[in-house]
Amino acid sequence: MADRDGRTERFRQGMATRRKVLGAGHVDRAEANKTAFDAPFQELITEAAWGHVWSRDTITPRERSMMTLALLAGLGNFEELALHTRATANTGASRDDIMEAMLHVAIYAGVPRANHAIKVIKQVFAEMDGGKGA
């Protein structure tokens, strides 16, 4: 059932989960930059990815985060990989967890993908650490 703004409960749950995982600042920026053109896409990912998938309690946010990182790296989606690496501060996935995921990427998706993913992740860690190396 939708509220007066047309938002479903799944959408509202997705937005709450999205904020919890990615951080309110990121979501606020995405919402502020949303246009009439990409609004349908933003609604889709909020309801489907965040409301249907990330909001499930079958596995932990840490486990879901590790799977997401491995899939993004394996598929070469490195911009999203950086975003989800930052999100590990909110999901509980440790740096050791992330390396384990990248080792799986190397074996199952290829060393070049894992190698580049590790480069991206190290850059994100350096940013998260205030410019210090990972």
pTM of this structure = 0.90
The Cα–Cα gap between 96 and 5 comes to 43
Q: Are residues 37 and 90 in the same domain?
A: no
Q: How many domains does the chain have?
A: 2
Series of mean pLDDT values for 10-residue runs along the chain (134 residues): 75 97 96 96 96 97 98 98 98 98 98 98 97 65
Instruction: Give the contacts of 23 (CB within 8 A, at least 6 positions apart).
Output: 86, 87, 90
Q: What DSSP character marks residue 2?
A: B
Q: Are residues 21 and 64 in the same domain?
A: no
Q: Are residues 54 and 119 in the same domain?
A: no
Amino acid at 31: E
